Amino acid sequence: MNSGAKVYNSLSAIQRVSLPEQVTVKVNRYYLTSANKNKETFARINYNGKNYFVRTTDIELKMDNTINNYLNQSGLPHAKITKQISSIFEQRGYSTSSGNPRGVVIHDTGNENTTINSEVSYMKQNYSSTQVFVHTFIDNQQILNIADTKYMAEGAGPNANPYFVQFEMPHEYTAASFANEVGNAAYYTAYILKQNNLPVTKGTKDGGGTVWTHAMVSSYLGGTDHQDPVSYWSTSARKLFDTSYTINDFVELVQAYYNEM
């Protein structure tokens, strides 16, 4: 916990308490609140057996994964979101009671030595025949939004498309570029969740949760058989950082970016 952090004993009373500065605490839950008419995220922390609450902007998460720690030590860098919305993609509303998405699905392109520009061009050129598209492409330098996230995409099968924002990642080949791509992806995921007042939670077998890989959609929701980005993440992490990388690591990183918003 950062020096000077404001600590409270309740989210309702908002009564300040004092804890030692620069103390290490355990976060056991997050709360998205409407304090002061603004959406703020609080962490419930445990210190000496008692629960307290602190704004997430006043804490720094300890990262166990090498890639996450690399990004954390670099100050959680990220690209700006660039919008180049195309009018060719069909606009159909989400099948949720609110009309808003309930999470994010992560893809990798599965192609070697391609770029965002080549992938976007291919998707647009073939859309009339494939009817496949995602909202956004993300690499180590760009977060390029090509389809309006107010409407559903068509990239993860019929059981996921009506509910999730979706993005694709071209493959990266150096440690820095791969890490930066993962960081941009985590930032974008956090941005979409925060924008829609959603928490950061991993997808579950019963269809709950807000952060999904395409592979999890295949396993839990069906209607598709793709397994991305599991192999891309694990192979790149092992080759470039001599570590592993899974959806659990990504969710941890998304939470770190989310906490800064």
CA–CA distance, 217 with 207 (Å, rounded to integer): 9
- Is 22 within a domain? yes
Contact 104, 165 (CB under 8 A): yes
The pLDDT score that the predictor gives to residue 35 is 60
One domain, residues 83 and 210? yes
- Is 2 within a domain? no
- Is 124 within a domain? yes
One domain, residues 251 and 204? yes
- Is 48 within a domain? yes
One domain, residues 51 and 104? no
The pLDDT score that the predictor gives to residue 13 is 63
The pLDDT score that the predictor gives to residue 32 is 79
Q: Which pair of structure tokens corresponds to residue 135?
A: 């909202």
CA–CA distance, 31 with 51 (Å, rounded to integer): 13
In one-letter notation, the amino acid at residue 221 is L
Strands ordered across the beta sheet of 81-83: 81-83, 143-145, 136-138, 165-169, 104-108, 211-213
| 36-75 burial: b if 16+ Cβ within 10 Å, else e | eeeeebbbbbebeeeebbbbbebbebebebbbbebbbeee
Q: Which pair of structure tokens corresponds to residue 242?
A: 């001599």
CATH number at residue 169: 3.40.80.10
One domain, residues 114 and 189? yes
The pLDDT score that the predictor gives to residue 144 is 98
Q: Which pair of structure tokens corresponds to residue 251?
A: 């969710």
- Is 39 within a domain? yes
The pLDDT score that the predictor gives to residue 14 is 62
- Is 1 within a domain? no
One domain, residues 111 and 232? yes
- Is 79 within a domain? yes
One domain, residues 146 and 205? yes
One domain, residues 26 and 74? no
One domain, residues 91 and 141? yes
CA–CA distance, 184 with 138 (Å, rounded to integer): 7
CA–CA distance, 116 with 136 (Å, rounded to integer): 10
One domain, residues 91 and 118? yes
Number of domains into which the chain is organized:
2
Burial class (CB in 10 A: 0-12, 13-18, 19+), 104: buried
Contact 115, 222 (CB under 8 A): no
One domain, residues 77 and 53? no
One domain, residues 154 and 54? no
One domain, residues 71 and 27? no
Predicted TM-score (pTM) of the model is: 0.92
Burial class (CB in 10 A: 0-12, 13-18, 19+), 13: exposed
**Over its length of 261 residues, how does the chain's per-residue pLDDT go in tens digits?**
776 788 888 877 666 788 777 778 888 888 877 665 677 888 998 888 888 888 888 888 888 899 999 999 999 999 999 999 999 999 999 999 999 999 999 999 999 999 999 999 999 999 999 999 999 999 999 999 999 999 999 999 999 999 999 999 999 999 999 999 999 999 999 999 999 999 999 999 999 999 999 999 999 999 999 999 999 999 999 999 999 999 999 999 999 999 999
- Is 12 within a domain? yes
Q: Which domain holds residue 30?
A: 7-58
